[in-house]
Amino acid sequence: MKQKILYTVNTNTIFYLLFTLFILIRVLFLNYNSAFNDEAIYIVIGRMGLFASDWWSYGASSWMAGLPYIYPALTSMVYQTGGLIASRLLNVVLSILLIEETLRFTQLLNLFDKKTNYIAGLVATFLVGFSSIGMFVSRLATYDLPSFLLFMFSINSFLRAGKYKNGKYYFLSFLTFFLSFLTKITTIFFIPVLLIFSVLIINRRIKIHKKLAKLYFFIPFAIGMFIYTILIAPNLFAYMETQKGLGLANNYSEITKEIWKTSGLLISVAVPSIFLFITRKKTAQLVSLLSLASVIPISHFVLKRLHTLDKHLFITNIFLSVITAYAVAHVINQYKKPFGLFLKKLYLKNNTISFINQLIILLPALVYILFSYTQLIKLEHQWKNSSDVQKFLSQNVSKDDKVLTENGASITLALYGILPLPQNVVTFDWIDYSGLSGEKAYIQALDDKYFDYIELNDEDHLYDNLKNEIRQRLTGNYSLVYERDGFEVFKKI
C-alpha cells in the first residue's frame, strides 16, 4: 500500500512538473520575432470584420484555409487587449489543452495495464509538449493549433462516449470535428479514416450505442456536410483555385526531406516501437494510429504541396508520440526490476540504484529537449524581424499616403488605423489599379507616382522580377529614407 501511494505521488509530481515546464517554455519570450505573415493577416481580417463590419474587402474566404469568422475573430479580440503577445498567448493556453487531450487520448486507448497506460500518457505528453514543431505552433498565432485541439477533442469525445448511455459525447464529437475543419480545412482529410474507424468502434459497442451514434453523430454529420457543401464549399473551390501552383514542391524528395526534418526523430523511435504492438497482439490499434499519423504526409504527397507541411505535421507527431510512448512505458516496466537486481550484484546501495535508473531515463529526455529547443529557435527566426521598419512607417506616413510593401501583412497590421485599408496599403500579392492587375498594374502605378512610400527587402526572391521593375522606376521619383537589416523604404520626391 505504501509503495502504491509513493508511486501515485511520484507520477503526479512528474505530471505537474511537466506541465509547468510546458507553460514556462511557451510563455517566455513571446516577442521572439515580429509578426509572421499569417499571424498578421489573420489579425487584420479579424479586426476589420469585428470592429469595422468588413469581412469582404480582402476576399478572405477565397484564399483562407478556414472561415474568417472563427480564429481571425478570436485572435483579433485578444490582440486588442495585449497586441501580438496576447494573440500568441492565446495559442499557448490552447496548446496546454491540446497536450492534455493527448494525455486523455493515450489513457482512453487503454491498451495495457493501468500502470503502463499511465506512464505511456506521461511519455506521450512529454514528446508532444517538447516537440520542436509543437512548441513552434504553440507560440505562433495561427489557426493550426485551435483546429488540432478541436480535432483531438473530437476523437476523445467519441472514445469516451462508450461509457455513457446517452448521446451527448457523440454529438460533442461531431460538433468539435466539424468546427475543426471550419477553423482550418486541413482536418477534412481525416474524414475517410475517421468514418471507417468510427463504424468499426460502434460495431464493438452494445446495441444502444449503434442508435445513439446514428442519431447524435452520423446524421448530424451528414446534415452538416450537406449544409457545408451548399454554403461553404464554393469558397473552398475558390481557395483551391487561388492556391493552385502556390507552395508546390519541385519534386517529392523535398516533401520527404521536410517530413524527416520535422518528424525524423519521432519516426526513428516509432518504427521499432511498432514491434511491441505486434508482439502484444494490438495490431488493430497500431493500424489505427499509423493511419492517423499518415493522413497529413499522404495528403501533401498527393497534392505535391510543400507549403505549411511543417506545421501540419504537428498532428502526425502526436500519433507517432503515442506509439512511441507505449513502447517506452513497456520498456521501463520490463527493465526496471532485472536491471535493479543486476546493479545489486555490483553491491550498490538502493539510493544509488534509484539514481542510476532515473539518470538512464533523464538523459535521453534532456537530449530530446535540447534538440527540440535548438530546432525551435531556427523555426522562430526563419523570417526577418521587421519591427523597426514597421515603427518607421507608422511614425512617418500620414492618413492620405499610399504605401507599397513587399513585407506585406506585418506592415499592413502596423499601419492599421493609420491608413484606410485595404486601398492605401498595397502588397505584392494583389493589386487592382486603373483596371489593370498583376505586374502591369504595379508598373503603371509606379509610372503615375501613385505610391508615397515603397518598402522593399531582400528576404523573398519570389518577386525578383517585379522588384527589378520597381527599382528601375525609383530614380528621380523616389529617395531612400530608410535602410537597415535588408529593409529599404523609399519616399516620393
The grid cell for 145 is: 493549433
pLDDT in tens, 189-241: 999 999 999 999 999 999 999 999 999 999 999 999 999 988 877 777 767 76
Query: What's 62's DSSP letter?
Result: G
- Angle at CA of residue 438, ends 433 and 444, nearest 5°: 45
Sorted by where each begins, the domain ranges of the chain are: 2-380, 387-492
296, 186 Cβ separation under 8 angstroms: yes
CA-based nearest residue to 410, from 395, 433, 439, 389:
389
Question: SS3 of 144, please?
Answer: helix
C-alpha–C-alpha distance, residues 413 and 76, integer Å: 11
Percent of the chain with pLDDT over 90: 65
C-alpha–C-alpha distance, residues 21 and 455, integer Å: 40
Over the chain, what is the mean pLDDT? Answer: 88
Burial of 282 (0-12, 13-18, 19+ CB in 10 A): middle
Question: SS3 of 257, please?
Answer: helix
Question: SS3 of 65, please?
Answer: coil
Burial of 132 (0-12, 13-18, 19+ CB in 10 A): buried
pLDDT in tens, 267-294: 999 998 998 899 888 899 999 999 999 9
Describe the crossing of helices 309-345 and 144-160 by its angle, rounded to 10 degrees: 60
H or E element in which residue 172 lies: helix 168-183
pLDDT in tens, 86-111: 999 999 999 999 999 999 999 999 88
CA-based nearest residue to 96, from 30, 25, 6:
25
Before 234, cis peptide (omega within 30)?
no
C-alpha–C-alpha distance, residues 446 and 469, integer Å: 9
CB contact set of 138 (below 8 Å; sequence gap of 6+):
26, 91, 92, 94, 95, 98, 145
pLDDT in tens, 7-58: 444 566 777 888 899 999 999 999 999 999 999 999 999 999 999 999 988 8
Query: What's 402's DSSP letter?
Result: -
The grid cell for 212 is: 445513439
C-alpha–C-alpha distance, residues 235 and 438, integer Å: 22
Give how far the C-alpha of residue 396 lies from the chain's centroid of Cα atoms, to the nearest Å.
35
